[in-house]
Structure 1
Amino acid sequence: MDVFKLLTRSAKASHTTPRQTLPSSGEASNPQLFGYTAEQEGQPNLQLGRKRKREEDSVKEAITIPKELDFFGEAFHHKNDGAQVGKNQGSRGANGNSQDGESTQDKYGAGKRMVEGLVERLSEDECKRVLRIHKLKITVLEDFHTEKEKDLIGKKSKKRKKTEEKLQGPPAKKAKSQLYPQPLTAFEQLRSRYAISKRLAENLEAQGYTVPTEVQLGGLPLLLGARDAQVGDQQNGEGNGYGKQGQDLDLLAVAPTGSGKTVTFLVPVLNALIGEIKSSTREMDGATGIGPRAIIIAPTKELAAQIANESRKLTLGTTVKTALMKKGMEVVDRSGEEMTNNHAEDERRNDTSEEDDHSVNELKATGSTRKERRKRKQAEIVKAAILVATPLALLNVLKKHSGETTPLPTVRYLILDEADVLLDPLFRDQTLSIWNACTHPSLRVSLWSATMGSNIEELAISTINNRWHSLVSSYPVPLPPRVPLIRLVVGLKDSAIPNVTHKLVYAATEQGKLLALRQLLHPTSMPSIDTTPTLRPPFLIFTQTIPRAMALHSELLYDIPPEAGGSARIAVLHAGLPSMARDSVMTRFRRGEVWVLITTDLLARGVDFRGLNGVVNYDVPNSAAAYVHRVGRTGRAGREGGVAVTLYTTEDIPYIKNVANVIRASEKLQGKAEGDAKKWLLDALPTPSKRDRQKLKQRGVEARRPGKAADAKTKARTRISTKSGWEKRMENNRRGAIAGSRMRKKVNEEGVKGGGSESEFEGFAD
């Protein structure tokens, strides 16, 4: 008996690498990023600090809230009088089982309580507690004044204003009104409380939506309506109006990446459109003619295609259709314009010469007429209720004929996904042109992103106000009352998700970054006591420019041996590729055929890769917001184990503090005292000026821009490739020949064929 083997059985740990939980392992049991554990259930004030207590005390002060948003006022209770249903009717949940007289409790204390067929509402204190636990803050952004109040404020003279300032001092900062709607603690409440479409509820259940994330917990009650629907009437689609039509408000939502924002803005719109089609309210609200009812704008084709795909899943079996904007589509019915243009063309053709007569005779000989040719050239009109598009593609269609933006009177819902990019100078003019083209008086706008600066909020408020004033002056009939603009914030604004491990690696030079990246591709298999998660494929690699992405792809093309799949396991994706090639790469990556995908910021926003294990920032992001969105491709929907590695060189040192601050904020959310962004590092890094940050955001690091290097020495230092393509190809062939020779020798000597190991991934073999 081996005594040493017996002793090692009782040792603390063996020299084996512990199994790591990866995002690709499967669905997370709880997609929520914030909350509390079972040990904290009886301690609701455990996470309250002094600042939070001061905020609660300030909330208790009397704040004027609009009547339509006062969820606990007398008007609300009056609305719910007489809404109870007889015991003999009972109620049915999302699964169709009778729940009459049943009373259960979830972890919030009142999630599924049923009283005589109605879901009992949480009290105001319970709502505050649930929203505070999940780090949700809902605020009324826009300051409402009546027209008379605005006129009185505008008529004050400058002298009077100065006198008032001297007597009263500087004006105090006005506290914004906070809202505490009923939180959505389970997706099955969508049917019982808000009376959404039965088919829509079944599609949500089929897609596996059971536990709502934070943005769904607070956003869906706001958009679907704050009041309970009558359970007795939900079978025939009727109710008190709020469950069917939703709450009249504009929303600005800031939530972490991968938190379910797409479902949050899709469900209310789909439910409203299903209800409108059933009740034939298309002509009742003044929206006549052919055209989409809802428009969703996304900055990239990949994100637009993803949103359209999710919408089609949720509308399966309903009459609501979703269309993705493509070339050759027509959004507005231009039959009247085309008739006028055709008439003018006919008059012009009547005055033609013999050359034109010859062309007409040629058309007659081929059996083709002008009418048939115009019919072939006429674009297909979008008949879908929901249109998903990028801003440039949609604007080109709206300006195709006259050069001016054609109005969209049928659009009732406008959704801006990744709104901070759409309202950035790159897309701002295009987005605002589409926004102002939506001339429906009851247009509802919602803006969604993981990062939202104060300048975007101010731009949204000013755009809403300017559009409203222009409608008031031009609309022939009185318009309905204005709706409030609400801001929903989950967690900390502009912060990375807390379930991802962040790493900052100083590589000094471009050659050092290549060495560090190859070490990630070929990690050591030696036992280590380090418990830090390591990077496992599949993962993304982000570069600053398209040429750098192509150069890095060429450099790493032969790093994966044929036994592991060879060069087919690595791919590059950027805006310079044709649409078909981009779609092919995305499909292969989602199927698992591609393990390493090199890309630019094209895939940094919105695209959902649920099984992505990590992200490598080969080049430092242009801003803190870009870093938040890049690392948000992993760790989605509450999945643990994602890794984000950022490589930086000497040229990046003036700008890396923005990334380090985001990492530090994320580590604080995780509860880490000190992680990868240590205090000495933050103190040592220089703070970039505002001008430097703006320049970096617009142009990136100057040394890495193509053709911007000062001399040949700088070009050599910032170049990714170290060998020519011919040298790398010959080296790869030589390596393959040696590996084949060894394999043949092994087969001849042992008589067995080599096979792959079933052990845990330890890097690609050399």
Structure 2
Amino acid sequence: MTFEELDLNDNVLDALYDMHFEQCTPIQEACIPQILRRKDILGVAQTGTGKTAAYLLPILSLLDDGGFPHDAINAVIMSPTRELAQQIDQAMQGFGYYLSTVSSLAIYGGNDGNRYDQELKSLRLGADIIIATPGRFISHMNIGNVDLSRVSFFVLDEADRMLDMGFSEDILAIAKHLPPTCQTIMFSATMPPKIEQLAKTLLKHPIEIKLAVSKPAEKIAQQAYLCYEPQKLPLLQHIFQEGHLQRVIIFSGKKQKVKEIHRALLRMKVNSGEMHSDLSQEERDEVMFRFKSGATDVLVATDILSRGIDIDDIALVINYDVPHDVEDYVHRIGRTARAERDGRAITLISDQDVYYFLQIEKFLEKTIDKLPLPDSLGTAPPYAIPTKTSHRPSSHRPAGKRGKGGGRGKPSAPGRHKR
């Protein structure tokens, strides 16, 4: 289905035309008509399916059509992180390019006093759309800066992630101040019991729209190495010696491991940066700026970066460890081969992670190519699930090593065009 076939405002369609948006994704095709009909929505869809446009486009269209107060907050969009809030705000600027009467404001922590004063002024004037992280928004509410009595749209983006980050009480506190007529739209990548309970609390007779986890793009060249844990760092050095040194993200599930990998890469003279939850917001922004600008070649990150970060030119993703969730694997390697580019994903499979990688292959319905270890690293473990009584022969360990436990932006061309 094309966007032209949906009942969207002409000004919104003009912006989509300039941005070369033509075909709807499945989540957009399913959600946009229901939101335009003012139905509550429970959407289960992973990052990268186009869900930001699925709720922004109909909300912008309805606001531009009129009938909403100009001196009040009309829509509140909650985001788990500053990075995602910024991306939603950028998408808003693009989709709302021709909407001169619809204003927006992004509210998130880690800003200086000037930014806070700007937020305060916009809140009091009544920005149409507020895009906010829960903590910063609650701080404004607690000192009386926010009037939610006339809000018409309440959106929870990546609700499961917000709950994982401990924002459940904040979300419920915000929801208590919304009028009973408010339309609520909730998106989550997964549907654990806590999300089901939140949906029952907040949504009124919702339309449920569930998309299965998408398989990775076929143009991603997926490969893997079987290796013992102590072989992984030498293996990284081997990969980089082959020339894969630019636009690389290395994922690990633990922030302590991310720090260790980053330090090891610096010792190898690799120009790397690290991204994990121990960094302040200012430090995260600096790390991302350096990586996006090309000042850093390799970024080592926890899964904080696997969802919702829009970087189009990643050439290689390395899974230093195997994600225990298929969706996490899809999100990680989905950082490459974006915007019509090719990409490569390499996973390092320790003997303790064979089971999880077998589950990934089962989901993908394909066998990932296993590359041979360099001769200098010794023998690789078998591709078999170890039993409780199995042990690691000492000849399989590298000499002298001890094993460890195992959006788019603003349209480029202003002015309307006929479609």
- Report SS of the residue matched to 1:380: helix
| Structure with greater proportional strand content | 2
The CA distance in 1 between the partners of 2:21 and 2:4, in whole Å, is 9
The CA distance in 2 between the partners of 1:684 and 1:618, in whole Å, is 19
The CA distance in 2 between the partners of 1:328 and 1:512, in whole Å, is 39
Change (3 A) 1:386 1:407: closer
Q: Contact 1:660 / 1:682 at 8 angstroms: preserved in 2?
A: no
The CA distance in 2 between the partners of 1:553 and 1:391, in whole Å, is 31
> Which of 287, 290, 295 in structure 1 is aligned with 2:76?
295
Q: Contact 2:154 / 2:182 at 8 angstroms: preserved in 1?
A: yes
Q: Contact 2:82 / 2:109 at 8 angstroms: preserved in 1?
A: no
- Report SS of the residue matched to 2:47: coil
The CA distance in 1 between the partners of 2:292 and 2:9, in whole Å, is 31
Structure 2 residue 235 is matched with structure 1 residue 505: no
1:505 aligned partner, one-letter code: Y
Task: Report the alpha carbon displacement of residue 487 of structure 1 after superposing the two structures with TM.
Answer: 1.9
Taking the TM superposition and a 5 Å limit, the aligned residue runs for 1:641-680 are: 641-650=342-351, 652-653=352-353, 657-666=355-364, 668=365, 672=366, 674-676=367-369
Q: Which residue of 2 aligns with 1:380?
A: 121
Q: Which residue of 2 aligns with 1:255?
A: 45
Structure 2 residue 123 is matched with structure 1 residue 312: no
Measured against aligned partners, the alpha-carbon deviations of 1:580-633 in whole angstroms (never above 9, x if no partner) come to: 332233233333443311122221221122222332222343544433332332
Q: Which residue of 2 aligns with 1:516?
A: 235
Measured against aligned partners, the alpha-carbon deviations of 1:468-516 in whole angstroms (never above 9, x if no partner) come to: xxxxxxxxxxxxxxx53122233x34x543534444433212x311122
Q: Which residue of 2 aligns with 1:556?
A: 265
The CA distance in 1 between the partners of 2:386 and 2:55, in whole Å, is 40
Change (3 A) 1:599 1:425: closer
Task: Report the alpha carbon displacement of residue 293 of structure 1 after superposing the two structures with TM.
Answer: 1.4
The CA RMSD measured in Å over matched residues stands at 3.5
Taking the TM superposition and a 5 Å limit, the aligned residue runs for 1:708-719 are: 717-718=403-404
2:187 aligned partner, one-letter code: W
Change (3 A) 1:559 1:202: farther
2:177 aligned partner, one-letter code: A
Task: Report the alpha carbon displacement of residue 209 of structure 1 after superposing the two structures with TM.
Answer: 0.8
The CA distance in 1 between the partners of 2:167 and 2:404, in whole Å, is 30
Structure 2 residue 370 is matched with structure 1 residue 580: no
- Report SS of the residue matched to 2:80: coil
Change (3 A) 1:282 1:608: same
The CA distance in 1 between the partners of 2:273 and 2:196, in whole Å, is 41
The CA distance in 2 between the partners of 1:659 and 1:380, in whole Å, is 51
1:394 aligned partner, one-letter code: F
2:130 aligned partner, one-letter code: L
Larger Rg: 1
- Report SS of the residue matched to 2:332: helix
Task: Report the alpha carbon displacement of residue 543 of structure 1 after superposing the two structures with TM.
Answer: 2.5
Measured against aligned partners, the alpha-carbon deviations of 1:662-691 in whole angstroms (never above 9, x if no partner) come to: 34212x3xxx4x4459xxx9973679xxxx
The CA distance in 1 between the partners of 2:129 and 2:327, in whole Å, is 29
1:606 aligned partner, one-letter code: G
Q: Which residue of 2 aligns with 1:321?
A: 103
The CA distance in 2 between the partners of 1:522 and 1:571, in whole Å, is 18
Change (3 A) 1:640 1:390: same
Q: Contact 1:589 / 1:595 at 8 angstroms: preserved in 2?
A: yes
Measured against aligned partners, the alpha-carbon deviations of 1:160-215 in whole angstroms (never above 9, x if no partner) come to: xxxxxxxxxxxxxxxxxxxxxxxxx223334xxx1x33322221122221222222
Structure 2 residue 139 is matched with structure 1 residue 396: yes
Structure 2 residue 13 is matched with structure 1 residue 197: no
**Gaps spanning 5+ residues in structure 2: where?**
112-116, 371-381, 389-400, 406-419
Task: Report the alpha carbon displacement of residue 271 of structure 1 after superposing the two structures with TM.
Answer: 0.9
Structure 2 residue 339 is matched with structure 1 residue 601: no
Q: Contact 1:256 / 1:496 at 8 angstroms: preserved in 2?
A: no
Structure 2 residue 48 is matched with structure 1 residue 268: no
> Which of 611, 636, 641 in structure 1 is aligned with 2:313?
611
Task: Report the alpha carbon displacement of residue 381 of structure 1 after superposing the two structures with TM.
Answer: 4.6
Q: Contact 2:110 / 2:282 at 8 angstroms: preserved in 1?
A: no
Structure 2 residue 30 is matched with structure 1 residue 214: no
Change (3 A) 1:675 1:604: closer
Could you list the structure 1 runs, at least 4 aligned residues long, displaced by more than 6 angstroms after superposition.
none
Measured against aligned partners, the alpha-carbon deviations of 1:719-740 in whole angstroms (never above 9, x if no partner) come to: 9xxxxxxxxxxxxxxxxxxxxx
The CA distance in 2 between the partners of 1:507 and 1:437, in whole Å, is 54
> Which of 624, 628, 647 in structure 1 is aligned with 2:330?
628
Change (3 A) 1:417 1:614: farther
Q: Which residue of 1 aligns with 2:417?
A: none
Q: Which has the higher contact order (CA 8 A, sep 6+)?
A: 2
How many residue pairs match? The answer is 373
TM-score (norm 1): 0.44
The CA distance in 2 between the partners of 1:602 and 1:642, in whole Å, is 21
Taking the TM superposition and a 5 Å limit, the aligned residue runs for 1:521-536 are: 521-523=240-242
Change (3 A) 1:536 1:211: farther
The CA distance in 2 between the partners of 1:397 and 1:658, in whole Å, is 44
1:445 aligned partner, one-letter code: T
Q: Contact 2:82 / 2:108 at 8 angstroms: preserved in 1?
A: no
Task: Report the alpha carbon displacement of residue 557 of structure 1 after superposing the two structures with TM.
Answer: 2.3
The CA distance in 1 between the partners of 2:26 and 2:294, in whole Å, is 30
> Which of 49, 69, 72 in structure 2 is aligned with 1:282?
69
Task: Report the alpha carbon displacement of residue 643 of structure 1 after superposing the two structures with TM.
Answer: 3.0
Measured against aligned partners, the alpha-carbon deviations of 1:274-331 in whole angstroms (never above 9, x if no partner) come to: 122xx4x329xxxxxx5421111121111111111111122224221221114599xx
Task: Report the alpha carbon displacement of residue 636 of structure 1 after superposing the two structures with TM.
Answer: 4.2
Q: Contact 2:228 / 2:403 at 8 angstroms: preserved in 1?
A: no
The CA distance in 2 between the partners of 1:686 and 1:642, in whole Å, is 35
- Report SS of the residue matched to 2:253: coil
Structure 2 residue 41 is matched with structure 1 residue 186: no
Task: Report the alpha carbon displacement of residue 718 of structure 1 after superposing the two structures with TM.
Answer: 4.6
The CA distance in 1 between the partners of 2:338 and 2:43, in whole Å, is 18
The CA distance in 1 between the partners of 2:156 and 2:9, in whole Å, is 24
2:79 aligned partner, one-letter code: A
The CA distance in 2 between the partners of 1:627 and 1:326, in whole Å, is 28
The CA distance in 2 between the partners of 1:328 and 1:620, in whole Å, is 32
The CA distance in 2 between the partners of 1:250 and 1:428, in whole Å, is 19
